[in-house]
Amino acid sequence: MEKFLVLASASPRRSEILLSAGYEFNIITSAATEITEGAGAIIAAENAKAKALAVYSQQPENAVVLGADTVVCLNDKVLGKPKSREDAFNMLVSLSDSNHSVITGYAVASKNGVKTGYCETFVKFRPLTDEEINDYVATGECDDKAGAYGIQERASLFVEAINGDYFNIMGLPVAEIYPILKSEGIYPKWQKVLV
């Protein structure tokens, strides 16, 4: 029975990354309850695991389910998705002219069990004015994103430096996940002929 990949996420950015890398997959959103307390790496990895396992439990045994969760950490504070535009504004004020990290936890669930990990990338924002932040928040782009920004869109103008995996900031460190998927027999479409 041929294995197939399921992405346990409604994130268009994660889908875009997987598609660009050449993967074929189904999308099934997880209804797993997410934790919000603890260290960023633990939150991200545990939430990714919960999402992957919740979706895998509803799949046939030849499914391989990928779950992911992204958080932004400023010092010891974890910034999730903003609860309001005011919350988004305050998050961006705190990120202005500072270094922060973006952590994406990932989990791959299959009949072989679940493999988890996380990737951390460091980001430096340039100083932002209140006007810039207000204009950005008004676009609504910040609404569903950890740390209230999407690096691949308008907020790219805020970034002074990146140290680490760019795709991790978008929500899926695909190069780090690739060997795990490969070990499960899941390859990008363009690579099947090489297997």
19 contact partners, CB below 8 Å, separation of at least 6: none
Count other Cβ atoms within 10 Å, centred on residue 183.
Answer: 13
Contact (CB, 8 A) for 18 and 7: yes
Q: Give the C-alpha separation, 185 to 95, whole Å.
A: 40
Q: Give the C-alpha separation, 108 to 181, whole Å.
A: 8
Q: Give the C-alpha separation, 27 to 53, whole Å.
A: 14
Choice among 69, 87, 97, 143 that is catalytic: 69
Q: Is 193 exposed, middle or buried (0-12, 13-18, 19+ CB in 10 A)?
A: exposed
Task: Look at residue 162 and give its three-state secondary structure.
Answer: strand
CA–centroid distance for 114 within its chain? 18
69 is catalytic: yes
Q: Which residues are catalytic?
A: 69
